[in-house]
């Protein structure tokens, strides 16, 4: 895709008298604010711009506040300013006042973070009036938030009508990294899709079932596929409303569809699981992780593959007693990436968490969730298209 990239940005600012740069980040950090991956992702862009003498104005959304939450501190970006300053090694000022109540000349700090964009009703409506108001704070705009670029929001799309606009370094890394699993794929190509619900990943399942050589379906969504095949999943989570989708994916697939053959089962998520074959699940139990045989099959597939795409955990990873499969597979993917040239592309919040200490060994780790899946599924992302030449 031909978009205005960071090299174009550097040339533009060298030829024009730019003094202020707006950078759209995704600073929607977890509630515990311990995972700073999204801050590290935009660090290079922010520091590059600041070190060139431009005043940096950071904009981002945070959570999903309602309009009446505007004075609720738990929705304010102010709470993450210390984390941003720590990662950047720079002081970051915070401006709580509305963009409609402050003039750009009143912002004087080298790096300033504006308040939560979702305090403005026009943000999610791609409102041009809000975009125009935001644009007054900069001479040039950078979108470095690939993870929100599947949304046609004012700070992502409409703002590009009012300022020269470019992709940041993180945005470029995301596009280039994910493209390894969408163009000129080195085969055999395996895809692992986990998570709880088929309904959240219908399009990507359909796309990968046609593009990949192996499509491993795991997590609770595998229960729906197995139920369609006639297996009694007992108390496991299934989506009867997605039976037709599962049938369609399996019927039309060019990839080999790989489903679990054994599980860790338990009466509830708080009790340790026991190994159990697919057709021997006790009546009072549900499946909370895949078992040793299923993990062994996934490892066999990884060993024969040159490219791996992974999104979604293989079990109920948020419970420590059901992290077995995700941990084992993460370690093996890391080893194959380091020692055997495997191209490993991973993405999604829970997936990243499951990688743990092995995250640095992956070929590419996307900080995006929905945007990652939509790009894989072949959709044109509004925020990326807005940067097209």
Read off the pLDDT of residues 295-341 as tens digits, 9 standing for 90 and up: 999 999 999 999 999 999 999 999 999 999 999 999 999 999 999 99
- 3-class DSSP state of 88: helix
CA 103 to chain centroid, in Å, comes to 34
What tens digit of pLDDT does each residue of 55-73 get? 999 999 999 998 889 889 9
Identify the bridge partners of residue 287 per DSSP, sorted by sequence position: 265
Angle at 362 between CA 359 and CA 368, to 5 degrees: 70
At residue 175 the predicted structure's pLDDT band, cuts being 50, 70 and 90, is: very high
Ordered domains of the chain (ranges, CATH): 6-171 (3.40.50.1260), 180-376 (3.40.50.1260)
Say yes or no to pLDDT of 100 above 90.
Answer: no
What is the pLDDT at residue 33? 55
Residue position matching structure tokens 């489903």: 259
* Non-local CB neighbours of 182 within 8 Å, separated by 6+ positions: 375, 376, 378
Name the pairing type of β-strands 262-266 and 286-290: antiparallel
What tens digit of pLDDT does each residue of 363-382 get? 999 989 889 999 999 999 99
* Non-local CB neighbours of 124 within 8 Å, separated by 6+ positions: 118, 151, 153, 154
Say yes or no to pLDDT of 348 above 90.
Answer: no
Q: Report how far apart, in Å, the C-alpha atoms of 28 and of each of 37, 120, 270, 283 are.
A: 11, 16, 29, 41
At residue 32 the predicted structure's pLDDT band, cuts being 50, 70 and 90, is: low
Cα(195)–Cα(217) distance, integer angstroms: 9
Provide the b/e sequence for 325-357 (b: ≥16 CB within 10 Å).
bbbbbbbbbbebbeeeebbbbbbbebbbbbbee
Cα(165)–Cα(168) distance, integer angstroms: 10
* Non-local CB neighbours of 168 within 8 Å, separated by 6+ positions: 6, 9, 23, 42, 45, 142, 143, 144
Cα(first)–Cα(last) distance of the chain, in Å?
9
Regarding pTM above 0.85, the answer is yes
């Amino acid at each position: 895709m031909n978009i205005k990239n960071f090299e174009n940005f550097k040339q533009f600012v060298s030829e024009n008298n730019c003094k202020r740069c707006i950078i759209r980040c995704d600073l929607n950090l977890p509630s515990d604010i311990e995972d700073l991956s999204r801050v590290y992702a935009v660090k290079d862009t922010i520091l590059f711009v600041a070190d060139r003498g431009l005043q940096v104005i950071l904009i981002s959304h945070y959570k999903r506040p309602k309009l009446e939450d505007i004075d609720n501190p738990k929705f304010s970006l102010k709470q993450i300013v210390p984390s941003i300053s720590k990662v950047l090694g720079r002081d970051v000022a915070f401006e709580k006042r509305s963009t409609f109540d402050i003039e750009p000349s009143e912002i004087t700090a080298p790096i300033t973070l504006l308040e939560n964009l979702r305090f403005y009703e026009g943000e999610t409506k791609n409102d041009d009036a809000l975009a125009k108001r935001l644009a007054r704070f900069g001479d040039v705009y950078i979108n470095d938030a690939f993870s929100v670029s599947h949304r046609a929001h004012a700070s992502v799309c409409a703002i590009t009508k009012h300022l020269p606009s470019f992709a940041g370094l993180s945005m470029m890394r995301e596009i280039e990294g994910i493209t390894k699993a969408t163009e000129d794929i080195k085969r055999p190509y395996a895809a692992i899709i986990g998570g709880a619900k088929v309904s959240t990943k219908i399009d990507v399942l359909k796309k990968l079932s046609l593009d990949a050589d192996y499509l491993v379906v795991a997590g609770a969504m595998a229960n729906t596929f197995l139920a369609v095949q006639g297996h009694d999943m007992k108390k496991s989570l299934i989506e009867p409303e997605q039976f037709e989708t599962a049938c369609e994916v399996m019927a039309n697939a060019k990839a080999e569809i790989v489903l679990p053959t054994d599980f860790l089962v338990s009466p509830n998520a708080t009790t340790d699981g026991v190994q159990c074959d697919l057709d021997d699940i006790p009546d009072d139990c549900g499946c909370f992780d895949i078992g040793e045989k299923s993990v062994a099959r996934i490892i066999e597939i990884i060993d024969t593959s040159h490219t791996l795409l992974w999104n979604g955990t293989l079990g109920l990873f948020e419970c420590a007693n059901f992290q077995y499969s995700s941990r084992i597979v993460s370690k093996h993917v890391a080893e194959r990436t380091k020692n055997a040239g495997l191209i490993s592309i991973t993405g999604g919040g829970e997936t990243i968490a499951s990688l743990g200490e092995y995250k640095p060994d992956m070929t590419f780790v996307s900080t995006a969730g929905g945007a990652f899946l939509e790009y894989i599924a072949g959709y044109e992302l509004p925020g990326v298209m807005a940067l097209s030449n």
